Amino acid sequence: MTITGNLTRDPELRSTAGGMAVLKMGVAVNDRAKNQQTGEWEDKPNYIDVTMFGTRAEAVSRFLSKGSKVAIEGKLRWSSWETPQGEKRSKVEVVVDEIEFMSSRDGGSSSSGGSSFKESAASVAPMDDSEIPF
């Protein structure tokens, strides 16, 4: 799955108990829909939670901030949990395989197509599932 959009907040870099870096981001991806009342086309934002793991997550966190435009290739991951009040919750997020920066460092669009921070998932050290925080 590939998504392209802008970060809705500054990325949050944390670590698991075992020391693995975990980067959490929100990405707004626009969809276009026709307003049935006005007949006009309108942008409808979809807000996607995105997670990245490992040393790449640490490196990427230094270059992104709220508003940065990115293209992300990854896998969908579904998780569920129960709140302390006993309510069941679930969400779907994208786990990053590759990411491409589509904004320049000053926040504007890059005329050269953006900076690339692509790295094949095969070249990343394998993860121990016990390190994943969900």
Q: Domain tally for the chain? A: 1
Residue 73 lies in a domain: yes
Residue closest to 114 by CA, chosen among 124, 127, 101? 101
125 pLDDT more than 90? no
Residue 55 lies in a domain: yes
Residue 134 lies in a domain: no
Residue 94 lies in a domain: yes
* CATH number for the domain that contains residue 7: 2.40.50.140
| Threshold 0.75, pTM exceeds | no
**Euclidean distance between CA atoms 64 and 9, whole angstroms:** 10
**Which of the four pLDDT bands, split at 50, 70 and 90, describes residue 103?**
confident
- What is the helix (H) or strand (E) element at residue 100, kind and residue range? strand 88-101
Higher pLDDT, 22 or 116: 22
Residue 120 lies in a domain: no
**Euclidean distance between CA atoms 119 and 84, whole angstroms:** 39
**Predicted local confidence at residue 105, as pLDDT:** 58
Give the residue-averaged pLDDT of 103-118: 50
Residue 128 lies in a domain: no
**Euclidean distance between CA atoms 99 and 5, whole angstroms:** 11
Mean per-residue pLDDT over the chain, rounded: 84
**Euclidean distance between CA atoms 81 and 59, whole angstroms:** 30
130 pLDDT more than 70? no
Give the residue-averaged pLDDT of 72-78: 97
The burial class, CB within 10 Å (0-12 / 13-18 / 19+), for 11 is buried
Residue 125 lies in a domain: no
> Domain range for residue 62?
2-31+41-112
Scan for tokens 């994208």, then name that residue: 94
**Euclidean distance between CA atoms 55 and 131, whole angstroms:** 14
Neighbours of 125 (CB within 10 A): 9
